Amino acid sequence: MKNIFAVFLLCLCVVAHASEQKKLSVSHKHAQEFFQNPQYSSPKIDPSGRRVSFFEHDKNGDKKLSLLDLDSNNMQVVYIDKLDRVKSYDWIDQDTMVLTVRYQEHSQSLYKFDFIYSDGLLKEVKQKLILDNAYLLDPLSNLQDKIAIAYYSVGERYPNIYKIDLSAKNTSSQLGGKKKLNRLAPDADSWLFNSNGQLKVMQAIKEGKNIVWYKEPKKGRWVEIWNKTKDTRFKPVLFLEDKNQLLVLNNHDKNFIELTKFNLADKTFGETVFKVEGRDIDNVVRNQQRDNILYASYTENGIVRQKYFTDLGSFIKKHLNKNLNARDFWVVDKSIDNSTVLALKTNSRQAGVYYLFESDRVQLSILTETKPWMSKFQLGKSERITSTSSDGLEIESFLTLPANSKESKPPLIVVPHGGPVNVRSSREFNMQTQYLASLGYAVLHPNYRGSAGYGKEFKEAAKQQWGKLIEDDIDSATQAVIDSNLVDANRICIYGASYGGYSALISAIRRPDIYKCAASYVGVTDINLMLENDFRSLGEGNLQWIKTYYGDHRKQQADLLQRSPVYLAKQLKQPVFLAHSLRDDVVDIEHYYRMKSELAKAGNPATTLFLEKEEHGFKYLESYEQLYSSLDAFFRKSLELPQPTVLRK
Amino acid sequence: MISLCKTIFSLALLGAVVSSELKAQQLTPDATLKSGYGYLLLAVESLGTPPKKILLKGPKVFSSLSIDKLQAGNNYRLLAVPAGRYYYSQVYSDEEKNSAYWEILNFDYYIDVQENRTSYAGHLISEMYSDQHTDFNFRNRSSQAFKHIQDCCQLISKKYPLIFTGSYPDPFLDLLVESPEDR
């Protein structure tokens, strides 16, 4: 009898589950399948190059820190993180790892894991709390058992910097005032160590200023070597001990960011070490020994490229380029002696495959795919397009066409990025773009003026151009796509988040002839409200920068009202989708309420979505699912498209 | 005799000070205001643990206010108060006397109450997740304030219209009350 009852209950559960599944739309089920955490993340190689560590994410949401022994191929879980608290980890030596664990938003702790091996097998993991309210600054690879940390005393906004001996029994005894590396130093938010583990340079971006200090070796004083507005890039990346120079990323007196030398004695710029014509250098990664640059990266045709500075470059050319396109690779981590290299191959249609190269075996092997489920879908191919804006400025954009675009012209979704300044779109793999492409949409990402990577003049051209030339740039990109005859010109919608949400609404108001619907997520709808309300807590220096780029609403209120969608809602005749997050502390939810209310008053009520747990952007997978499936439903209704079909292989 | 007078005077003064902190929920909005009075719409959004009590410093010595019985989410209080500037001053996390409180007077979160108007200047956003993670913000959510007044107190809002009296001009409430035909 009990068995019959159990079977009956089971049947009920199955029916209930099936009915729940049935309620979900095709696009929602597709979103659940599509938007998942990567199966493996944060892979790293231990300094000896014989073990690979990584996070493994299982379907229950558990995150496991695992070790793969490359000699025995034995894989062992060393820590199960059920609450997603481990934010990062670093190898200190081949037997020691330091983990940064976050318990609450503003509280994080450092833990040490010691691995005890026997006969090549991991026998024990000894865990030890190093310190609360601290994070790792530099593993100081050249010094045994030493790390550099940032430690926050109670109530202090800026951290104290210490060098900690991990082999010592007591950590707190190493935190005395005299041991503080930034003792008698100005408050800073980034720090640079030399190859001997000495703190040499500090940097602070505050009150709209970029300030850099250097510690004089003789007197031990901190000397200011740079103090200019944050618009001019000056980022120290390496200390050249023997020459008393710094390598800095900078665009002082020039349009594009270059890697140059900077003489500390007379505070002058020296020779340029690396530059790319017409492009900013985005980033520089140092080697573990902190005595050379590993690579500098820049973006070309929407793809991030690396220029290698050590013999790693020739190594990659020689070994990785044999059978694979080396341009799609970038080095994620390597052993100190370069004998083992972990590289990621990724492009617009490939989420990523990790490769491992072991030089002593001359062997290249696939380690793992980041998102293996992507292989089930037909993903879109992206291409670069250029257009000329209303004032003659050239705009670079990236168009992704769905796999079935040759059968019929697809509808187009124009997606301006957020920011608007110092952010950009690229042709790198993008889950959100590919989700739309897998449902048959073409997706256009315009890099309008102000976007990062195109030089200082391009950035400054965006000053006070909300609802003006920025949107002209976007329109020019859309027009170029229309002219190319690749999409259905009568089925175009515009969607974006944050500034992109603003842009979507204002573009639909400005050009109803192009955009048949508009969708905004966490978008700005009232510029005055943003300037006074959302930016209220910023300091005076930052407010000056904001006034320069966005406008001074005390002096230009009438003009800003004329560019704020809330005050123009009556002109918005197309269907509108509004979504916002309750926990958004960047663009307050009042923007959503105001727009919703004004659209309703104008007789054009918006389709709305409210994400209660979410912040400004995407913290939760469910948010992607809810937002993107709702967007698909909205686009289909607005553009009179047939029911969705997922493009599968 | 002199010492008795002193004692009586001290007690009277103490009583005045104690009673000067008006409890917001004890005030019942009335459709008719005394001369020199306006309505103050206080709005508090509580995230995490709700504060036990919030104090506001008024324009006069005995015009401080307190609000309590706050719940998670949005809390509104409509008070008839003398016109003038009211500052959020302290947020108590515990009901007990002498308990720890957060001093927010220097945050400059204030509302200018105007005579014969219903004045609103922002929502106080209280985020009290732990002692280490406590934050306060002041956000202009006048669309929500307007909706609340329309829902709860239409008579008062007709007689004493809602105005925004923050530290900057915000024309949104004027837009909100316009009918589409007016524009």
Provide the CATH number for the domain around residue A481: 3.40.50.1820
Looking at residue B100, its pLDDT comes to: 79
Q: Are strands A51-57 and A63-69 parallel, antiparallel or unpaired?
A: antiparallel
Q: Give the residue from chain A lying closest to B145, CA to CA.
A: A590
- With the C-alpha atoms ordered A480, A484, A489, A494, is the resulting torsion angle positive or negative? negative
Q: Rounded CA gap, A93 and A139, in Å? A: 9
List, as one string, the DSSP characters of B132-175.
SSEEEEEE--HHHHHHHHHHH-HHHHHHS-EEE-SSS--THHHH
**What is the token pair recorded at B83?**
């016109």
**Nearest CB neighbour to B172, from listed A105, A585, A594:** A594
Chain-chain contact of A585 with B137 (C-beta, under 8 angstroms): yes
Chain-chain contact of A537 with B137 (C-beta, under 8 angstroms): yes
**Nearest CB neighbour to A104, from listed B129, B143, B179:** B129
Cβ contact B94:B52 at 8 Å: yes
Looking at residue A84, its pLDDT comes to: 85
- With the C-alpha atoms ordered A100, A102, A106, A107, is the resulting torsion angle positive or negative? negative
The candidate with the shortest Cα–Cα distance to A45, out of A29, A69, A27, is: A69
**Nearest CB neighbour to A106, from listed B133, B176, B183:** B133
Structural domain includes residue A501: yes
A104 touches chain B (CB under 8 A): yes
Q: How confident is the model at residue B96 (pLDDT cuts 50, 70, 90)?
A: low
Cβ contact A404:A378 at 8 Å: yes
B46 touches chain A (CB under 8 A): no
**Nearest CB neighbour to B141, from listed A557, A583, A590:** A590
Give the bridge partners for A397, in sequence order.
Answer: A385, A446
Cβ contact A393:A473 at 8 Å: yes
Buried b (16+ CB within 10 A) or exposed e, A519-553: bbbbbbbbbbbbbbbbebeeeeebbebbbebbbbb
Q: Rounded CA gap, A486 and A491, in Å? A: 12
Nearest CA to CA, how far is B181 from chain A (Å)?
Answer: 9
pTM attached to this predicted model: 0.90
**What is the token pair recorded at B5?**
């007078």
Give the mean pLDDT of chain A.
90
B138 touches chain A (CB under 8 A): yes
Nearest CA to CA, how far is A621 from chain B (Å)?
Answer: 22
Q: Give the residue from chain A lying closest to B127, CA to CA.
A: A583
Mutate to test the interface with B, among A107, A533, A583 (most CBs of B within 10 A): A533
Looking at residue A20, its pLDDT comes to: 45
Looking at residue A509, its pLDDT comes to: 98
Dihedral of CA atoms B169, B174, B176, B182 in degrees, nearest 10, equals -140
Chain-chain contact of B133 with A601 (C-beta, under 8 angstroms): no
Q: Rounded CA gap, B125 and B73, in Å? A: 10
Structural domain includes residue A268: no
Looking at residue A420, its pLDDT comes to: 95
Q: Starting at the edge strand that comes first in sequence, how are the strands of the sheet with A245-250 ordered?
A: A234-240, A245-250, A258-263, A268-274
Cβ neighbour number for residue A307 with a 10 Å cutoff = 15
**What is the token pair recorded at A71?**
């000699």
Looking at residue A140, its pLDDT comes to: 93
The candidate with the shortest Cα–Cα distance to B45, out of B164, B132, B148, is: B148
Q: In A, which residues are within 8 Å of B180 by CB distance?
A: 570, 601-603
**Nearest CB neighbour to A570, from listed B132, B144, B183:** B183
Q: Rounded CA gap, A553 and A528, in Å? A: 6
B143 touches chain A (CB under 8 A): yes
Q: Are strands A190-193 and A121-132 parallel, antiparallel or unpaired?
A: unpaired
**Partner B, chain A 575-634, Cβ-Cβ below 8 Å:** 583, 585, 588-590, 593-594, 597-598, 601-603
Chain-chain contact of B141 with A589 (C-beta, under 8 angstroms): yes
Give the mean pLDDT of chain B.
82
A533 touches chain B (CB under 8 A): yes
Chain-chain contact of A107 with B176 (C-beta, under 8 angstroms): no
* DSSP code of residue A276: B
Looking at residue B132, its pLDDT comes to: 66
What is the Cα Rg of chain A in Å? 27
**Nearest CB neighbour to B133, from listed A104, A528, A583:** A104
Dmax over CA atoms of chain A, in Å, equals 91
Nearest CA to CA, how far is B167 from chain A (Å)?
Answer: 9
Chain-chain contact of B138 with A536 (C-beta, under 8 angstroms): yes
Peptide bond into A420 cis (omega under 30): yes
Q: Give the residue from chain B lying closest to A567, CA to CA.
A: B175
How large is the angle between the packed helices A431-438 and A621-639, nearest 10 degrees?
Answer: 40
Per the structure, the count of domains in chain A is 1
Q: Are strands B118-120 and B134-139 parallel, antiparallel or unpaired?
A: unpaired
What residues of chain A score a pLDDT lower than 50?
A: 1-2, 9-21
Residue with tokens 């979900």: A24
The candidate with the shortest Cα–Cα distance to A471, out of A500, A441, A432, is: A500
Cβ contact B180:A601 at 8 Å: yes
A543 touches chain B (CB under 8 A): no
A152 φ, ψ (degrees, to nearest 5):
-100, 120
Say whether pLDDT at B9 is over 50: no
Nearest CA to CA, how far is A112 from chain B (Å)?
Answer: 24
**What is the token pair recorded at A438?**
């897998």
Nearest CA to CA, how far is A525 from chain B (Å)?
Answer: 12
Q: Which residues contact A91 (CB under 8 A, 6 or more apart)?
A: A44, A45, A46, A47, A53, A97, A139
What is the Cα Rg of chain B in Å? 18
Chain-chain contact of B171 with A561 (C-beta, under 8 angstroms): yes
The candidate with the shortest Cα–Cα distance to A288, out of A142, A145, A165, is: A142
A532 touches chain B (CB under 8 A): yes
Q: Give the residue from chain A lying closest to B140, CA to CA.
A: A533
Chain-chain contact of A106 with B170 (C-beta, under 8 angstroms): no
Burial (CB < 10 A; 0-12, 13-18, 19+), residue A144, is exposed
Q: Rounded CA gap, A434 and B173, in Å? A: 42
Looking at residue A58, its pLDDT comes to: 82
Cβ neighbour number for residue A338 with a 10 Å cutoff = 16
Nearest CA to CA, how far is B58 from chain A (Å)?
Answer: 23
Structural domain includes residue A274: no
3-state secondary structure of A63: strand
Looking at chain B, the whole-number percentage of residues with pLDDT higher than 70 is 76
A609 φ, ψ (degrees, to nearest 5):
-145, 135
Q: Rounded CA gap, A546 and A478, in Å? A: 28
A350 touches chain B (CB under 8 A): no
User: What residue numbers bound the domain in which A626 lies?
Assistant: 377-526+564-639
Cβ contact A425:A506 at 8 Å: no
